[in-house]
Amino acid sequence: MKGLIAFAGASGTAAVLAAAALIPAGTAWASPGGDHGNACSVAGSLSSPQGVKYQPTDGTYDVKGVLDCTSEEFSHGVLTGKGKGLLGCFGGFSEAVYKIEWSNGKVSEIVMKSGDFTYGTGSYGTVTKGALTGSHVGMAWGRYAAGAEYKCAKDAVHSGQFAGGIGIH
């Protein structure tokens, strides 16, 4: 069991490193309208009404999180969203629509496609409505749930925490 926990932690680290690779450096940060790009940390919770099981199956999930970012104009936000796809404890893929309510009163809607590997998720998408429309978004996070391996093997994981990064440019 210790090996599985260490592997889950390594997968979360890999997800954060993947997020860093998605965030462009230097002057590539220009986005539509002359706004600068944004690099954010994100942390929150995930839930799935039917639960995520060992055998990947069609399912849905909800996401709630908080962003802290490098941009002055878009420095803090609350992330919410819903996704659906082929979900499994150790792999899957999905599509989601996220909303970020920024501390400056603006809102961004983002459409994302995600791939899951063990306890990490990597996503890529576009801001489709609201503030920063047309910007590209890269996101990756590690997922953690107490006793997840046991719950997955026995029945299903219904909720857990995540932490990672988001790049918007």
**Interatomic CA distance for residues 146 and 41, integer angstroms:** 22
- What predicted TM-score, i.e. pTM, was given to this entire model? 0.79
Tokens of 146: 């107490």
* Host domain of residue 62: 2-168
67-126 pLDDT, tens digit each: 999 999 999 999 999 999 999 888 899 999 999 999 999 999 999 999 988 778 999 999
Percent of the chain residues topping a pLDDT of 90: 60
Q: Report the pLDDT value the prediction gives residue 154, as an integer from 0 to 100.
A: 87
Tokens of 149: 């391996």
CA atoms within 13 A on the CB side of 31: 21
Average pLDDT, the chain: 82
Across 133-150, average pLDDT: 89
Count of domains for the chain: 1
Beta-sheet pairing, 107-117 with 136-144: unpaired
| Cβ atoms 83, 58 nearer than 8 A | no
Contacts for 3 with CB less than 8 Å, ≥ 6 apart: none
**Interatomic CA distance for residues 168 and 163, integer angstroms:** 17
Of residues 134 and 118, the one with the higher pLDDT is: 134
